[in-house]
Amino acid sequence: MRKPIILFAFALFALPATAVAQSPDLEETCKSVAKSFFMSDQLAIGTVQSFPELKPPGVRMTYSTRQGTAPAEMTDIFECQFDKTDKPRNLARFCVSSTCYFPTVDDADRKRRFEEMRILLSRSEK
């Protein structure tokens, strides 16, 4: 009877570890987009969640523009959506808190920022 209990306990501890980093490569791509958007290599990243199985695949993460911020204190959210999980990826949409940037947005400035991030991502993945 002990073996099934031990195996069950091991599975419970192993499950969260696999859910945390479901797609490290996709997560790194979103971090790159965020750093490009904020024009900073020093962007502090907190909790990261990736969803490669969704259509479109995406990443959501907390961040801070202030260095030394503890991950638990980060409340700002950056989200990315891509056309696919494999490189080269096209950026389909990204959001900074409640402001979203995508190719068909009505706001000309947000549309331009989206195109800038799409171009920078495209250049970095060549």
Task: In whole angstroms, give the CA distance from residue 16 to residue 24.
Answer: 15
pLDDT at 15: 40
Tell me what the mean pLDDT of segment 117-121 comes to.
Answer: 96
Q: How far from the centroid of its chain's Cα atoms is residue 102's Cα?
A: 16
Banded pLDDT at 126 (limits 50, 70, 90): confident
Is the bond leading into 88 cis (omega within 30 degrees of zero)? yes
pLDDT in tens, 36-49: 999 999 999 999 99
The reported pTM is: 0.80
